[in-house]
Structure 1
Amino acid sequence: MTPDRRQVLTMLGATVFGSIAARTFAADRFDLGGIRITTVSDGNLVLPGDFMFGGLPEEELADILMRHGVSRDEVHPPCNVTLLQDADRTILFDAGSGSGFMPSAGDLVDTLDALDVAPDDITHVVFTHAHPDHLWGVLDDFDDPVFTNASYLINQVEWDYWRDPDTVNTIGEARAAFAVGAARRLEAIEDACEFFTAGQEVLPGIMSHATYGHTPGHTSFEVRNGNDAVMVVGDAIANAHVAFERPDWASGSDQDTELGAATRQRLLDQLATDQIPMVGFHLPHGGLGRVTRKDGVFRFISEV
Structure 2
Amino acid sequence: MQITRRRLMASATATLAASALPRRGWTQTSLMMGDTEIITLSDGWLDLPADFIFGPMPQDELAAILAQYGIDPSAPLTPPCNLTLLRRGDTLALFDAGAGTQFSPNAGTLPDALATAGIDPFDITHVIFTHGHPDHLWGVLDDFDEPFFGNAEHMMGGVEFDYWMDEGTVASIGEARASFAVGAQRRLEVIADQVTRIGDGDEVLPGVVAGLTAGHTPGHLVFTIGDGSDAVMVLGDAIGNDHIAFARPGWISGSDQDPEAAAATRMRLFDRITADGLTVVGFHLGHGGIGTVEAEGEGYTFRPSA
TM-score (norm 2): 0.91
Find the partner of 2:120 among 109, 118, 121: 118
1:53 CA drift (Å): 0.3
Alpha-carbon contact 1:12-1:22 (below 8 Å) kept: no
Q: What code does the residue aligned with 1:120 have? A: F
Structure 1 Cα separation of the partners of residues 17 and 115 of structure 2: 12
| 1:1-304 superposed matches below 5 A | 24=24, 25-73=26-74, 74-224=76-226, 228-304=230-306
1:27 CA drift (Å): 2.0
Structure 1 residues 23 and 67, CA, compared in 2 at 3 Å: closer, same or farther? farther
Query: Any idea what SS the aligned residue of 1:47 has?
Result: coil
User: After superposition, what is the alpha-carbon deviation per residue over 1:171-211, rounded to whole angstroms, capped at 9, x for unaligned?
Assistant: 00000000000000001001111011111111211100111
State the Cα RMSD in Å: 1.7
Alpha-carbon contact 1:13-1:23 (below 8 Å) kept: no
Alpha-carbon contact 2:228-2:276 (below 8 Å) kept: no
Equivalent residue number for residue 5 of structure 2: none
1:13 CA drift (Å): 5.4
Greater shift, 86-95 or 195-204, is seen at 195-204
TM-score (norm 1): 0.91
Structure 1 Cα separation of the partners of residues 251 and 170 of structure 2: 26
Structure 1 residues 26 and 204, CA, compared in 2 at 3 Å: closer, same or farther? closer
Alpha-carbon contact 2:287-2:304 (below 8 Å) kept: yes
Greater strand proportion: 1
Unaligned runs of 5+ in 1: 1-10, 15-19
Structure 1 Cα separation of the partners of residues 54 and 104 of structure 2: 20
1:111 CA drift (Å): 0.2
1:294 CA drift (Å): 3.0
User: After superposition, what is the alpha-carbon deviation per residue over 1:111-157, rounded to whole angstroms, capped at 9, x for unaligned?
Assistant: 01101101001000000000000000011112111100000000000
Structure 2 Cα separation of the partners of residues 39 and 111 of structure 1: 10
Q: What code does the residue aligned with 2:104 have? A: M
1:269 CA drift (Å): 1.3
Equivalent residue number for residue 6 of structure 1: none
Alpha-carbon contact 2:201-2:209 (below 8 Å) kept: yes
1:26 CA drift (Å): 4.3
Greater shift, 214-223 or 20-29, is seen at 20-29
Q: What code does the residue aligned with 1:72 have? A: P
Alpha-carbon contact 1:289-1:303 (below 8 Å) kept: yes
1:22 CA drift (Å): 5.6
Greater shift, 218-227 or 271-280, is seen at 218-227
Structure 1 Cα separation of the partners of residues 289 and 148 of structure 2: 24
Query: Any idea what SS the aligned residue of 1:112 has?
Result: helix
Structure 1 residues 85 and 226, CA, compared in 2 at 3 Å: closer, same or farther? farther
After superposing on structure 2, the runs of 4+ consecutive aligned residues of structure 1 that deviate more than 4 Å are 11-14, 20-23
Q: What code does the residue aligned with 2:41 have? A: V
1:55 CA drift (Å): 2.1
Equivalent residue number for residue 8 of structure 1: none
Query: Any idea what SS the aligned residue of 1:48 has?
Result: coil
Greater shift, 217-226 or 183-192, is seen at 217-226
